[in-house]
Amino acid sequence: MLMFLWALSLVSLQGVALGLHVQEGCISEHKKIALFRGTQIGATAWIPDAGEDEVLLSLTSAEDQIYFVRRIEIRKSLVHVKEMRGGIDKDDAFDIPDGVFRPGWMDFTLVLNSRFRLTTGNTTLVDVHDVLTSSVTIEGSNVTVGCAEPIIAWEVAGGEEAVMPALGLEPRRVSLFSRAASLPELSLGPNTLRLGWDPVAGAVTTLTSAPRPLPAFLLHNLTLDCHPRGSLTKCDILVRLHSFIDTRTAHLCIVFI
C-alpha cells in the first residue's frame, strides 16, 4: 500500500556543503519579535484556510513607562485594534477588501515611526497613530521577519518535529542540513518515510530496511512533486544535485541542531 501511494525517484549525487548559514529572520516560528523604529521591515506569514472569525495574524506593541499596550488582530475581512493607554481602553475595527487574504504564504511590510502601518501588496491593513514603541511581537501559524533570502527555514532539535505547511499540488523544494549524522522522517498524510543514505549511489534513499544516517554537513536537496491519482495523491520524491541553496528555486529548508 505504501509503495502504491508513493513513487520514489532517486537520482544524482549530493555535493559537499562545508557549512550552512541561515539568517535568523528566515527561521519560521509561531512568534517573532521585530526590533525597529523609523524604518520599515518585511515579514512573511503563512495564511491558513481559516474561517472568517479566526485570527490569522496578531501584532502586539507595548511600552511599560507610559502603560501602553496595542494588540492588532487580523482576520480574513476585519482588522481589530485594541489599545490600552494609562488604563483607558480604545477599540477600533477596519474592514479588509474581499480577496486580499488567500491561503498560502503572504508578504507584509511594517513601518513604525509616528504612525504604525501594516501593508500587503497595495493594500493598507493598519494605519494608526503610534507612541514611542520600538518593537512589535508578531504571532501566526508560521512567521519570518526581516528575511533577505528567498527561503523559509525551520530549526529542529533531536526528537522534535517541524510541520511545513503546503497548499495545492505544485512541486515543493526542501533542503535538509545537519551538523551531525541524522535519520529524518518525512510524513505525508498518514504515511511516514525514513530518509536514509545509500553510500553506493551517494544519494538519499527510502528503499532499504536498514537505512544509514544521512551524512552531516551535506545539503540534501529534495523535490516533492505530488499529483492526483484517482482518489489518492501520488508523490514523487526527487533528489536534486546542488551543494548550496539555489536562491532562485529553494523555498523550504530544515536545519537539524
Instruction: Give the separation between CA 231 and CA 251, rounded to whole angstroms.
Output: 28
Q: Does 257 or 113 have the greater pLDDT score?
A: 113
User: Is 7 a residue whose pLDDT tops 50?
Assistant: no
Fold of 27-145: Jelly Rolls (2.60.120)
Q: Does 232 or 10 have the greater pLDDT score?
A: 232
DSSP of the chain:
-HHHHEEEE--SPPPB-S-----GGGB-EEEEEEE-SSEEEEEEEEE-S--TTS--EEEEEEEGGGTEEEEEEE-SSEEEEEEEETTEEEEEEEE--TTS--SEEEEEEEEESSEEEEEETTEEEEEEE--S--EEEEEEEEEEES--SS-EEEEE-TT--------SSS-EEEEEEESS-B--EEEETTEEEE-EEETTTTEEES--SSPBPBPTTB-EEEEEEEEEETTEEEEEEEEE--SS--TTT--EEEEE-
User: Amino acid letter at 129?
Assistant: H
The mean pLDDT of the chain is 79
Q: Residues 179-238: pLDDT tens digits?
A: 888 888 887 777 778 888 888 878 888 777 777 888 988 888 888 887 777 877 777 777
pLDDT of residue 58: 96
Retrieve residue 154's grid coordinates.
525551520
Mean pLDDT of 73-79: 94
User: In Å, how far are 17, 38, 100, 129 from 132, measured between CA atoms?
Assistant: 45, 10, 30, 10
Model confidence, pTM? 0.79
Q: Residues 148-168: pLDDT tens digits?
A: 888 888 888 767 778 888 766
- Rounded (10°) CA dihedral 53, 137, 72, 168: -40
- Domain spans of the chain, in order of start: 2-22+150-256, 27-145
Q: Residues 223-255: pLDDT tens digits?
A: 888 777 787 777 777 776 544 333 333 446 665
Q: Residues 34-55: pLDDT tens digits?
A: 877 777 899 999 998 888 889 9
